[in-house]
Amino acid sequence: MSGDLAPTTGVAGRYASALFALAKETSALEAIEAELKAFNASIAASADLRDFLKSPVYGRDEQVGGLTALAEKAGFGALTTNFLKLVATNRRLFALEGMIDVFMKLAAAHRGEVTAQAISAAAMNNEQVKSLRLEIERQVGKAVNLETRVDPDLLGGLVVKIGSQMIDSSLRTKLNRLRTVMKEA
């Protein structure tokens, strides 16, 4: 259980925990989660936005103004907008992605979900993703929020991460094990 509490430590954890508590208190958890997902997608899609968030070149007022404008344009609610402004005012934008990640984990845990990540050598179709999600749910006994991504370096197979557990059935790992065994022989 201590592994579940670990994400709430540090700067990202403190800010995310505070936002999560406010979201629960105001019954705005789903709305804030959706807004943060949208903002996180914007960060992932824009190198300029990532630079803006992490660069010390921009002053506090520029960052607060920029985030306020982004939040208004995106139609974010007051709580999300104020959170982004607070993070900018306190010069903690470098940790914003971590804050969003911790918030998402807290929200998933609140719903009784487990977050899992599946990394495959090739893109999985919807049926494969569904089948994998069902198998993980059967193993852990909880609903699973499955994130998938492709890593062609795996060559084949799959790597599944559930919390701190990792199941690596990738061809790359199997070849590395074989190489190690052959060196020992």
Domain that holds residue 119: 113-184
Residue 118 has pLDDT above 80, yes or no: yes
Counts of helices then strands in the chain (DSSP H, E): 9, 4
Looking at the fold, whether 70 and 15 belong to one and the same domain comes out as yes
Number of domain units in the chain: 2
Instruction: Count other C-beta atoms under 10 Å from residue 117's C-beta.
Output: 15
> What is the distance between the alpha carbons of residues 6 and 166, in angstroms, rounded to a whole number?
17
Stronger pLDDT, 65 or 4, i.e. the higher one: 65
Read off the pLDDT of each residue in 160-168 and give the average, rounded to a whole number.
82
Q: C-alpha distances in angstroms, 143 versus 3, 78, 140?
A: 18, 30, 8
pTM recorded for the entire structure? 0.69
Q: What is the pLDDT of residue 7?
A: 52
Looking at the fold, whether 31 and 121 belong to one and the same domain comes out as no
66, 86, 108 - which closes a domain: 108
Q: What is the pLDDT of residue 4?
A: 43
Give the single-character DSSP code of 28: -
108, 136, 159 - which closes a domain: 108
Looking at the fold, whether 99 and 121 belong to one and the same domain comes out as no
User: What is the CATH classification number for the domain harbouring 119?
Assistant: 3.40.30
108, 123, 142 - which closes a domain: 108
> What is the distance between the alpha carbons of residues 29 and 22, in angstroms, rounded to a whole number?
8
Looking at the fold, whether 137 and 77 belong to one and the same domain comes out as no
Looking at the fold, whether 86 and 8 belong to one and the same domain comes out as yes
Asked whether the beta carbons of 174 and 157 are under 8 A apart, the reply is yes
